[in-house]
A and B are shown apart, each in its own frame.
Chain A
Amino acid sequence: MIQLTVNDKSHSLEIDPSMPLLYVLRNKLELNGAKFGCGLGQCGACTVIVGDRPVFSCLLPVSAVGSRNVRTIEGLGTADKPGALQTAFIKHQAAQCGYCIAGMIMRAQALLDKNPHPSEEELRSHMEPNLCRCSTHMRILAAIRDVAGIRQDVPTNHSPQSSEGD
């Protein structure tokens, strides 16, 4: 029997201890926000927060979670009452196909929990592991900047800002 706390709710589950956390969330708890992307820790679609760290849930055995609280996108808000990041992602229309978004938001949430006002550099380096096949990265970053209180118009060394939102 595995004890698992997800979004502050505890569950007792009769499951294989080596089952990846992602499968438990989706198939046992019906929390379908986190997605299966690559299964290799390369894309970040499965990102959830475990304890205070963003992790690839496709590569984390459920028995490795222990007493740490798991937070998923479902814990941040609902369709009626979206959380701050969710609201910003809607405002900036940051999703195209939307497959990566739950992972993007959870990785961003982990950063903001630790550091509510990161710099542009910190934001970019923190978000680096998560990929978006549709290339909406600029809108994703814009949405997170809103919540983090980072100015949208500050040019960086990394990329031209002129194409933003196009």
Chain B
Amino acid sequence: MGRRALLILAVLVLVSICALAAAIMYEPAYAPIELPKQASFDASIRARGARVVALGDCAVCHTAQGGKPFAGGLPLLTPFGTIYATNITPDNETGIGSWSLEAFSRALRKGISRDGHQLYPAFPYIHFTRIPDQDIAAAYAYLMSRDPIHATAPHNKLIFPLNFRPLVAFWNLLFLKDERFTSDPRQSPEWNRGKLLVDGLGHCAACHSPLNLIGGEKTGHAFDGGLIDGWDAYPLNQLAHADIPWTKDQLVTYLRTGVASEHGGAAGPMLPVTRDLATVPEEDVQAIAQYILSIQKPGSSNDTTATVAGNDNRNARNISPGTVMFAAACASCHGEGSPMQSIGNRPALSVSTAVNAKTPRNMIQMMLGGISWHQAERVNYMPAFEGSLTETQMADIVAYVRATYSKKPAWAQPEKMVSDISKENAQR
């Protein structure tokens, strides 16, 4: 009798749990619509939408290398597998052509696709909850007015059970706070605008924060720095502790041109962000810089991490061959008195954020892949050395440059880093 009651109770509990889980995971589909005519959107709203989309860096992820803007297909390597960014051009079949504004808005704020399936949180909807309604409507008008491009992103390659999308609903219970922006009356309008852009549309914390084991941003560590697409996304709350502390002018120039004369050039996933920010009104970038500089942590940057080797040895083994390599491979641009140093305010290696960083990751990425040509006006180009220099030779240069141009302690095992990063890149 007691056992039977227990059994019934167990079944009831199980059924309720299943029902609850189903309720959490279920999202309705929104009815497909006819693609609205471009003329149905006011030109000024579309123009505003272009600004919103640029501030949201949408094109950065939703454009594959060599692909059409917003047509998707860019692979994002995560610890859980590879996710391909989707097509957000208004193609009916493969893009968002049949999405209503309501469906678009739900996707941005709740991470739900028009047909009701869960989007993966590589899409930063947890930040986009803060975007004001009129900005979402403007972004919608802009995207729906572009030329539709027929392009299907490759299938995601995620580990079991994460390939079962509805499970994201439980992740959302933990991390989707539906936060809205409220302005702080004690702060200036510029600061408030900056906070809105940084925390909302710009979703800066999505890359510039460490992630926990299940891919959520670590609570209390926003802007402490993260890892994205094989690149270190440097901490945004320690800019005041750089050898030459960042100023608002430097930050605005960096964000709008990709080069800060006192810190270095943008590369990797940050480079297209700066290209987007070059297109928005300067006041937006001023506001972003104003806010970022207000969130600096006290104290100095702490470099005694596990990735740093002993102070004295400075990888002595590498430095002498590194001198030889640097003289021929690097000095014509980076050496003292070289054209790159004397023309156009190009940053010296000694002030480079990458050379002074905790890990040599970004320096190695730049050496391997270079920085390809972009924009005619302000070019921070660098040739790629992958294939012409061996991993050992690159590690020699890394050790030499760190020892010669930075006051920070030597990096541990540069050769292993070069080798590991080359292998990671090969999977991309």
Task: Give A contacts to B, CB under 8 Å.
Answer: 17-20, 39-42, 50-51, 53, 55-56, 58-64, 66, 125, 129
B314-350 interface with A by 8 A CB criterion: 323-325, 327-329, 332-333, 339-340
Minimum CB distance partner of B389 in chain A: A64
- Please determine whether A59 and B324 come into contact, CB atoms closer than 8 angstroms: no
Cα separation A99 to B385 with both chains bound (whole Å): 23
- Please determine whether B383 and A61 come into contact, CB atoms closer than 8 angstroms: no
- Please determine whether A56 and B383 come into contact, CB atoms closer than 8 angstroms: yes
How near does chain B come to A68, taking the closest CB pair, in angstroms? 9
- Please determine whether A18 and B393 come into contact, CB atoms closer than 8 angstroms: no
- Please determine whether A42 and B328 come into contact, CB atoms closer than 8 angstroms: no
- Please determine whether B332 and A18 come into contact, CB atoms closer than 8 angstroms: no
A-B contact pairs, 19 of them (CB 8 A): A18-B323, A18-B324, A18-B325, A18-B328, A40-B333, A42-B381, A50-B388, A51-B387, A53-B388, A58-B332, A59-B332, A59-B383, A59-B388, A60-B328, A60-B388, A61-B325, A61-B329, A64-B328, A64-B329
How near does chain A come to B330, taking the closest CB pair, in angstroms? 8
| Pair count A-B, CB < 8 A | 56
B390 within 8 A of partner (CB): yes
Contacts of B325 in A (CB 8 A): 18, 61, 63-64
Contacts of A59 in B (CB 8 A): 328-329, 332, 383, 385, 388
B66 within 8 A of partner (CB): yes
Cα separation A60 to B394 with both chains bound (whole Å): 12
Given contacts A18-B324, A64-B325, 9 further A-B contacts (CB under 8 A): A18-B323, A18-B327, A39-B332, A40-B340, A59-B328, A59-B329, A59-B332, A61-B329, A129-B383
- Please determine whether B328 and A125 come into contact, CB atoms closer than 8 angstroms: no
Minimum CB distance partner of B383 in chain A: A41
- Please determine whether B324 and A63 come into contact, CB atoms closer than 8 angstroms: yes
Contacts of A63 in B (CB 8 A): 324-325
Cα separation A121 to B369 with both chains bound (whole Å): 20
Cα separation A104 to B252 with both chains bound (whole Å): 40
- Across the interface, B324 reaches (CB within 8 A) one of A41, A61, A66, A129, namely A61
Contacts of A66 in B (CB 8 A): 390
Minimum CB distance partner of B370 in chain A: A41
Task: Give B contacts to A, CB under 8 Å.
Answer: 66, 323-325, 327-329, 332-333, 339-340, 381-383, 385, 387-390, 393
Contacts of B327 in A (CB 8 A): 18, 61
- Across the interface, B66 reaches (CB within 8 A) one of A19, A51, A56, A125, namely A125
- Please determine whether A53 and B393 come into contact, CB atoms closer than 8 angstroms: no
How near does chain B come to A78, taking the closest CB pair, in angstroms? 27
Minimum CB distance partner of B382 in chain A: A41
Minimum CB distance partner of B333 in chain A: A40
Which of B66, B324, B385, B388 counts the most A-chain CB atoms under 10 A from its CB?
B388
Which of A41, A55, A66 counts the most B-chain CB atoms under 10 A from its CB?
A41
Cα separation A64 to B387 with both chains bound (whole Å): 11
How near does chain A come to B340, taking the closest CB pair, in angstroms? 8
Cα separation A17 to B321 with both chains bound (whole Å): 9
Which of A51, A56, A64 counts the most B-chain CB atoms under 10 A from its CB?
A64
Contacts of B383 in A (CB 8 A): 40-42, 56, 59, 129
* Also in contact, A53 and B387, with CB within 8 A (given A40-B339, A42-B381, A64-B393): yes
Cα separation A62 to B328 with both chains bound (whole Å): 8
- Please determine whether B332 and A55 come into contact, CB atoms closer than 8 angstroms: no
Cα separation A51 to B323 with both chains bound (whole Å): 23
Minimum CB distance partner of A41 in chain B: B383
Contacts of A125 in B (CB 8 A): 66
Contacts of A51 in B (CB 8 A): 387
How near does chain B come to A119, taking the closest CB pair, in angstroms? 13
How near does chain B come to A43, taking the closest CB pair, in angstroms? 10
Which of B66, B328, B333 counts the most A-chain CB atoms under 10 A from its CB?
B328
